[in-house]
Amino acid sequence: MVAAIATRALPLVDLTSLNDADDVASTAALCAKAVTPAGNVAAVCLWPEFVAQAKHALMGTGIRVATVVNFPGGSLPAEKVVDQIARALADGAEEIDIVMPYGAIMVGQGGDQRAADHLAACRAACGAATMKVILESGSLAKPALIERAARVAVDAGADFLKTSTGKVPAGATPGAARIMLEASRAAGRPVGFKASGGIRDVETAGQYLALADEICGPGWVSPARFRFGASGLLDAILAVLGHGPAAVTSAGY
């Protein structure tokens, strides 16, 4: 059972490193790690300044290159975020993980519209690139706020709803995942889900896969619709599959 979950989870991983100390050497190591004896991950997710390096290193592997903008606080003005997106796309990014201005959702009184306008500008800037919107569900905390944020993101054109930056104390939770998966199901168009922040073992990954199966149907999960944003999870997956020690770390977050 655990091996089956590991096999299923491996191609769904966005192998992530967003550390202050990341550099050319750590980026090369991350890209090498993304190609495993058991199969490749879905994507690597790293700082914008390493997108071009990763794109070159992963050429021909089928592994996508993702980066983050408006990260981690979600507080930059839309024009600066649009510029970040343009630069990342020019360097070869295929997926953009955007922190929505979730503080506006928490304030209310027109905040939803401000967040919607911000994300609409980001959507236009992303063009055909995959736009994953980070709700920062751990900071929103209340189910009603998470539901509102998810609705704003979907209406603004999000391709994925993502739980967390991993930079706040509370990352992904099953409760937040349920709300976001229900929003994906109700979207009326394909909207994926990315669980990120604190997912480090195969058993926990299995809980999120089971939730997706329950809410969206057993045939819904695929790399085009479901991702795990993680670093240590890959080590745990490979250990279960017989390809290395269970070296579970929190390096990527």
pLDDT of residue 246 exceeding 50, the answer is no
pLDDT tens for 48-58 read 999 999 999 99
Distances (CA, A) of 154 to 47, 57, 80, 182, 195: 25, 33, 22, 12, 16
pLDDT at 253: 33
Ordered by start, the domain boundaries in the chain are 2-240
| CATH 3.20.20.70, applies to 2-240 | yes
Which percentage of the chain shows pLDDT scores above 70? 96
What's the rounded Cα separation, in Å, for the pair 96 and 190? 17
pLDDT at 245: 62
pLDDT band at 176 (very low <50, low <70, confident <90, very high): very high
Positions annotated as catalytic residues are: 97, 162, 194
Mean pLDDT of 110-130: 97
Residue type, 155: D
- Which residue(s) pair with 16 in the sheet? 45
- Which residue(s) pair with 160 in the sheet? 132, 192
pTM: predicted TM-score of the whole model, two decimal places? 0.94
Which percentage of the chain shows pLDDT scores above 90? 93
What's the rounded Cα separation, in Å, for the pair 224 and 95? 11
pLDDT of residue 242 exceeding 50, the answer is yes
pLDDT at 150: 98
Mean pLDDT of 99-116: 94
Mean pLDDT of 174-192: 98
pLDDT band at 249 (very low <50, low <70, confident <90, very high): very low
Mean pLDDT of 152-167: 97
Q: Which two tokens stand for residue 12?
A: 């769904």
pLDDT at 216: 98
- Which residue(s) pair with 14 in the sheet? 43, 229
pLDDT of residue 21 exceeding 60, the answer is yes
CB 51 within 8 A of CB 67: yes
pLDDT at 109: 78
